[in-house]
Amino acid sequence: MADFLIAPSILSADFARLGEEVDNVLAAGADVVHFDVMDNHYVPNLTVGPLVCEALRKHGVTAPIDVHLMVKPVDRLVVDFAAAGASYISFHPEASEHVDRTIALIREHGCRPGLVLNPATPLNYLDHTLGKLDLVLVMSVNPGFGGQAFIPESLEKVRAIRERITAAGLQTRVEVDGGIKVANIRDVATAGADMFVAGSAIFGSGDYAATIAAMRKELAAAAGGAAAA
């Protein structure tokens, strides 16, 4: 029975009321806070840094914070986000000169490392890294903005990554980020994902609890289908 994690992306939250928004979405049943960090260099958008992560911890957020670094270079911010209370730290391999070193740096600082694969990034980045990762984050949109449409080819990629993880006997999580909605989350789970980022689908809905409950219902159906198969 898969243990599915729902990770709302704060990118679509009301930043003027961020602490309250995060409290509300966690009270509504979310498991993890997905924290999108953009630098106007690796991606053409600019969001928030370690100060805001630390502010959420000071506000009283105890849930895991899943930091998705869309920045180049990466390493300096790993250290800052670890100190700011990050739980997971994921980065894009194209943005680091030394991918293995960055993974080790995340682990050394007490966080769980993840590698992020863009829609056109090949799986060979996992060849020598998979055993060192807690998370593979599959981008199902091109990074930089919330509210984009899910790229359907991502499902095949999720399947291939899950096969590799299973074949290697690992417990690595497969997280999918971009365009996830109640209508497609079941297919993403069936393909092998167990961690789901959703920004606009949750924060753009009037009722966070109802949307998360509807997602859980779809996930339970995916788990039931897998059990029956």
Among 180, 189, 212, 215, binds ligand DX5 (CB under 6 A): 180
* Distance between CA atoms of residues 69 and 189, nearest Å: 24
Q: Does 89 bind ligand DX5 (CB under 6 A)?
A: no
C-beta of residue 95 within 8 angstroms of C-beta of residue 65: no
Pick between residue 182 and residue 201 the one whose CB is nearest to ligand DX5. Answer: 201
177 is catalytic: yes
Residue 158 touching ligand DX5 (CB under 6 A):
no
Q: Which is nearer to Zn ion, 78 or 223 (CB)?
A: 78
Q: Where does residue 31 rank: exposed (0-12), middle (13-18), buried (19+ CB within 10 A)?
A: middle
Taking CB under 6 A as the criterion, the residue among 143, 186, 211, 212 binding ligand DX5 is 143
Q: Is there a contact between 67 and 81 (Cβ–Cβ < 8 Å)?
A: yes
Residue 186 makes contact with ligand DX5 by CB under 6 A: no
CB 115 within 8 A of CB 125: yes
Q: Which stretch binds ligand DX5 (CB under 6 A): 142-150, 153-161, 167-175, 212-220?
A: 142-150
Q: What are the strands of the beta sheet with 33-38, ordered from one edge? A: 5-8, 195-198, 173-177, 135-139, 112-117, 88-91, 65-70, 33-38
Q: Is 36 in the site for Zn ion (CB under 5 A)?
A: yes
Residues 154-183 that bind Zn ion (CB under 5 A): 177
Catalytic residues: 36, 177
Residues near ligand DX5, by CB under 6 A: 9, 11-12, 34, 36, 68, 141, 143-144, 146-148, 177-180, 197-201
